[in-house]
Amino acid sequence: MTNPKFHSLPNFKAVHQFLGDGNAENDLKNILMKEIFSIEEKIGKDKLHKDISVYSTKGRVKTASSIFLKTKRKLRDSFGEYSDYAGVRVLVMFEEELLKVLDYLLKEVVEHGKLYEMKVFNMDDHIKQGLKELENFKAHENNGFNSISKEIFDYIDREPRYRSIHILFGKKINYRKDLFGYGDGIFVLELQLRTLTDDLWAEMEHKLAYKQGKTNQQLATSFAHLKDDLTTMGKRLSSLRRLRARQMAVNQLSIIGSGPYLFLDYENEWDPLEFLPKNQQLHSVVQKLRDASKDYAVDDTSEPARNKYIDTAEPLLAKIDELFANSHEGKASEISENNKDKIDYFVRMERGYVAFLKGNYLDAHDIYSAITIDSAYSDRPVPHLRLGEVSFVRNAIGEKSCVHDRGLVQSDQTNRDDSKTHESSQLNVHQGGQGQSSSGRNDDQGQSCFDASLAAFDKAVDLVYTAFKDGKASPVQRKVGAGIINKVASIYMLLGADEYLDYCIELYRFVAEMVDGLTDPSPIMTSNNLGWCYVEKMRISYEERKNGPDGAWINEISYWHGKAWNTLEIIFRDLEDQSKLNKFSSNHLDTASWFLFQTWRLLQHTSEREKNVLRGQIVKKSPGFVYSTPDAALKKAEEFCRLGWGLKNRAIFSASSVYAQRHHTEEIMEAKKNHPSDG
Mean pLDDT, range 364-389, rounded to an integer: 91
Range with lowest mean pLDDT among 73-82, 266-275, 647-656: 73-82
Question: If pLDDT is split at 50, 70 and 90, which confidence band does 391 have?
Answer: very high
- Is 411 within 8 Å of 468 (Cβ atoms)? no
What is the H or E stretch that residue 104 is in? helix 98-104
Mean pLDDT, range 98-127, rounded to an integer: 82
Q: Where does 259-336 have alpha helices with state H?
A: 272-275, 281-294, 303-328
**What pLDDT, on a 0 to 100 scale, did the predictor assign at position 415?**
37
Task: Give the angle subtended at the CA of 23 by the CAs of 19 and 27, to the nearest 5°.
Answer: 35
Max Cα–Cα distance, the chain, nearest Å: 117
Q: What are phi and psi of 330, to 5 degrees?
A: 80, 15
Residues 6+ apart with CB under 8 A from 117: 83, 149, 150, 151, 152, 166, 167, 168
- Is 148 within 8 Å of 116 (Cβ atoms)? yes
CA 80 to chain CA centroid, nearest Å: 46
Residue 553 scores a pLDDT above 60: yes
Mean pLDDT over the full length of the chain: 78
Residue 597 scores a pLDDT above 90: yes
**What pLDDT, on a 0 to 100 scale, did the predictor assign at position 299?**
62
Residue 679 scores a pLDDT above 60: no
Query: Which residues, listed in sequence order, are joined to residue 165 by a DSSP beta bridge?
Result: 120, 193
**What pLDDT, on a 0 to 100 scale, did the predictor assign at position 154?**
47
Number of other residues whose CB lies within 10 A of the CB of residue 422:
11
Give per-residue pLDDT as tens, 333-365.
567 777 888 888 888 999 999 999 998 999 999
Residue 485 scores a pLDDT above 90: yes
Nearest Cα neighbor of 54 from 88, 98, 86 is 98
Mean pLDDT, range 606-616, rounded to an integer: 79
Residue 321 scores a pLDDT above 50: yes
Question: If pLDDT is split at 50, 70 and 90, which confidence band does 83 have?
Answer: low
Question: If pLDDT is split at 50, 70 and 90, which confidence band does 78 have?
Answer: low
Give percent of the chain above pLDDT 90.
Answer: 25
Sheet with 56-61: strands ordered across: 56-61, 86-92, 186-195, 164-172, 114-121
Q: CA-CA distance, 341 to 343, in Å (whole number)? A: 6
**What pLDDT, on a 0 to 100 scale, did the predictor assign at position 148?**
38
Question: If pLDDT is split at 50, 70 and 90, which confidence band does 371 have?
Answer: very high
**What pLDDT, on a 0 to 100 scale, did the predictor assign at position 181?**
47
Q: 447's torsion region: left (phi>0), alpha (psi -120 to 50) or beta?
A: beta
**What pLDDT, on a 0 to 100 scale, did the predictor assign at position 526?**
87
**What pLDDT, on a 0 to 100 scale, did the predictor assign at position 240?**
75
Q: CA-CA distance, 299 to 309, in Å (whole number)? A: 12
Render 76-101 in DSSP notation, one character per residue.
Answer: ---GGG---SEEEEEEESSGGGHHHH
Mean pLDDT, range 111-128, rounded to an integer: 79
Q: CA-CA distance, 29 to 21, in Å (whole number)? A: 6
Query: Which residues, listed in sequence order, are joined to residue 86 by a DSSP beta bridge?
Result: 61
- Is 67 within 8 Å of 19 (Cβ atoms)? yes
Q: CA-CA distance, 168 to 154, in Å (whole number)? A: 16
Mean pLDDT, range 244-251, rounded to an integer: 72
DSSP 50: S
- As a residue count, the chain comes to 679
Render 518-552 in DSSP notation, one character per residue.
Answer: -SSS-HHHHHHHHHHHHHHHHHHHHHTGGGS-TTH
Query: Which residues, listed in sequence order, are joined to residue 88 by a DSSP beta bridge?
Result: 59, 191
More confident residue, 570 or 252: 570
Range with lowest mean pLDDT among 192-196, 395-399, 631-635: 395-399
Q: What are phi and psi of 383, to 5 degrees?
A: -60, -35
pTM: 0.70
Render 324-340 in DSSP notation, one character per residue.
Answer: HHHHHTTSS----HHHH
**What pLDDT, on a 0 to 100 scale, did the predictor assign at position 174?**
61
**What pLDDT, on a 0 to 100 scale, did the predictor assign at position 355?**
93
- Is 429 within 8 Å of 406 (Cβ atoms)? no
Cα separation values, 574 from 579, 580, 593, Å: 9, 6, 14
Q: CA-CA distance, 654 to 674, in Å (whole number)? A: 30
Residue 50 scores a pLDDT above 60: yes
Give per-residue pLDDT as tens, 410-442.
333 333 343 333 333 222 222 223 333 333 333
More confident residue, 586 or 607: 586
Residue 213 scores a pLDDT above 50: no
Q: CA-CA distance, 350 to 600, in Å (whole number)? A: 49
**What pLDDT, on a 0 to 100 scale, did the predictor assign at position 208?**
66
DSSP 266: P
More confident residue, 505 or 243: 505
User: How buried is 218 (Cβ within 10 angstroms: 0-12 exposed, 13-18 middle, 19+ buried)?
Assistant: exposed
Give percent of the chain above pLDDT 70.
Answer: 76
Question: If pLDDT is split at 50, 70 and 90, which confidence band does 460 have?
Answer: very high
Q: CA-CA distance, 499 to 371, in Å (whole number)? A: 32
Residues 6+ apart with CB under 8 A from 595: 531, 535, 538, 564, 565, 568
Question: If pLDDT is split at 50, 70 and 90, which confidence band does 383 have?
Answer: very high
